């Protein structure tokens, strides 16, 4: 049966405290801050399980490797910061249906804003 392990708990904890989408290497370095010696393979194994149990969902940002975020079950988009390379959740949406070409069926959409996050702008 499935066991509760320190490494998986730490990985979940990292998502809860960062409150933003993370990629495998970000997860690794944040989690290694708590548990030195954690391996990347374990991060990947944990991600896979957490996505399967729908605790995490995948975030695909064009040109970047996969990011993952806690599954909050609400529609939102993302902001990518060119300076620190972090991805943030962005609430709200805009009426993109208007863009759908005639005869096409719109099933989903993705909006990725890019620029500088507030930490990089100010602080």
Partner DNA sequence: CTTATATTGAAAATGCATTCTCAATAGCAA
Partner DNA sequence: TTGCTATTGAGAATGCATTTTCAATATAAG
Q: Taking CB under 8 A as the criterion, which residues in 81-120 touch its own copies?
A: 81-82, 88, 90-96, 98-118
74 binds its own copies (CB under 8 A): no
23 contributes a contact to DNA by CB under 7 A: yes
Going by C-beta distance under 8 Å and a sequence separation of 6 or more, which residues neighbour residue 103? Answer: none
For the chain, give the number of residues. Answer: 123
Rank residues 82 and 99 by Cβ distance to DNA and give the closer one.
82
User: Interface with DNA includes 12 (CB under 7 A)?
Assistant: no
Question: Smaller CB distance to DNA: residue 16 or 118?
Answer: 16
Site track for DNA across 32-71, x = CB under 7 A? ---x-xxxxxx-xxxxx----------------xx-----
Q: Three-class SS of residue 117?
A: coil
């Amino acid at each position: 049966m499935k066991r509760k392990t320190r490494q998986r708990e730490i990985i979940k904890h990292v998502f809860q405290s960062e409150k933003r989408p993370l990629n495998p290497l970000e997860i690794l370095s944040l989690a290694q801050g708590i548990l030195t010696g954690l391996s990347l393979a374990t991060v990947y194994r944990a991600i896979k399980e957490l996505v399967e149990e729908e605790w995490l969902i995948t975030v695909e940002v064009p040109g970047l490797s996969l990011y993952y975020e806690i599954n909050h079950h609400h529609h939102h988009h993302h902001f990518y910061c060119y300076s620190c390379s972090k991805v943030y959740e962005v609430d709200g949406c805009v009426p993109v249906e208007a863009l759908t070409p005639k005869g096409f069926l719109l099933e989903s959409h993705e909006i990725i804003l890019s620029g500088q996050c507030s930490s990089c702008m100010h602080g």
